[in-house]
Structure 1
Amino acid sequence: MERHDFYQSVEQQAALADEADARDATHAVLSALGERLDDTRSQRLDGELPSELGEQLAEGPSGRSLSYDEFLDRVETQTDRADTGDPEAVSQAVVGTLLEHVDEDEADDLRDRLEAFGYEATVPESGPGAGG
């Protein structure tokens, strides 16, 4: 998978204006998610993504205990290029695309972790990345 394909999927799912907005939204969500995930999990996901995307998961501190509202606040404050809309909808588009582009075991593991964190609203109910 190419990063352009990832961004295009996020752009379409979140109804963003262009790829630049999708790139900004993707960076914000992956960075915030990387703060919450432990290093091992971030590194495993990083290995399945184009380097620019994987690095966003692995940058900064990890394993922080962020509530779902704190996670959404991080996403909102990090999307500084343009108004990307509702941080929950943007998070769902990015997480759905991420789940579609990693292997099935990693996707299932990530869904379980997101549920354990109280982030289940980031997993789409239908479309790319929906649990099944």
Structure 2
Amino acid sequence: MNYKEFIGHVQHRLEYGQFGHAVRTTRAVLTTLGERIQEGEATDLASPIPMEIDRYLTEVEHGQRFDYQEFLDRVAERDRGGVDGADANYRAQQVLAVVAADVPAGNLEKIRDQLPDDFEPLFDHLETPTK
């Protein structure tokens, strides 16, 4: 999948009227996820996705420790859409579902295994086995 297709899928899943909003949401979600996971896992997750997007995962300070609520707060703040926690959760789930279409399931399972149990809602829209 190329960059425009990837962002187009995010735009479609989130029913955004503007391409730029889908870019902003993608950046918010993947940057925040990249901060939470270890560098190796971020690189593995990023490698199959378009290079214009993979940097959101890789060009951050990795391995930060924060809970799922803080994850959602960071996504909401970066998305600048005045979103609440439920909206941020839904947006994060949808972006991750688009990522899942491009990456091997094993890469997502490594991410899932690395995160605490309170991050499980992030994976609700994926067709991967549960923890």
TM-score, normalization by structure 1: 0.85
Question: CA separation in 2, counterparts of 1:102 and 1:48?
Answer: 6
User: Where does residue 15 of structure 2 map in the other structure?
Assistant: 15
Gaps of 5+ in 2: none
CA-CA distance at 1:49 after TM superposition = 1.3
1:28 aligns with 2:28: yes
Question: Retained in 2: the 8 A contact 1:11–1:17?
Answer: yes
Please say which of residues 12-21 and 66-75 is displaced more in the overlay: 12-21
User: Where does residue 88 of structure 2 map in the other structure?
Assistant: 87
User: Where does residue 101 of structure 1 map in the other structure?
Assistant: 102
Question: Retained in 2: the 8 A contact 1:124–1:131?
Answer: no
- Whichever residue aligns with residue 118 of structure 1, its letter is D
CA-CA distance at 1:111 after TM superposition = 3.1
CA-CA distance at 1:109 after TM superposition = 2.2
Q: Deviations over 1:110-132 (max 9, x none)?
A: 33334x3521111134xxx3324
CA-CA distance at 1:84 after TM superposition = 6.3
Question: CA separation in 2, counterparts of 1:124 and 1:96?
Answer: 9
Question: CA separation in 1, counterparts of 2:38 and 2:103?
Answer: 17
Gaps of 5+ in 1: none
Question: CA separation in 1, counterparts of 2:12 and 2:97?
Answer: 12
Question: Retained in 1: the 8 A contact 2:38–2:63?
Answer: yes
CA-CA distance at 1:93 after TM superposition = 0.5
Q: Deviations over 1:34-75 (max 9, x none)?
A: 000101111112211111111000122110011111000100
User: Where does residue 62 of structure 2 map in the other structure?
Assistant: 62
The runs of at least 4 consecutive aligned structure 1 residues that moved more than 6 Å come to: none
TM-score, normalization by structure 2: 0.86
Question: CA separation in 2, counterparts of 1:44 and 1:28?
Answer: 19
User: Where does residue 128 of structure 2 map in the other structure?
Assistant: 131
1:52 aligns with 2:28: no
Structure 1 counterpart SS, 2:128 = coil
- Whichever residue aligns with residue 90 of structure 2, its letter is A
RMSD of the TM alignment (CA)?
Answer: 1.8
Question: Retained in 2: the 8 A contact 1:25–1:84?
Answer: no
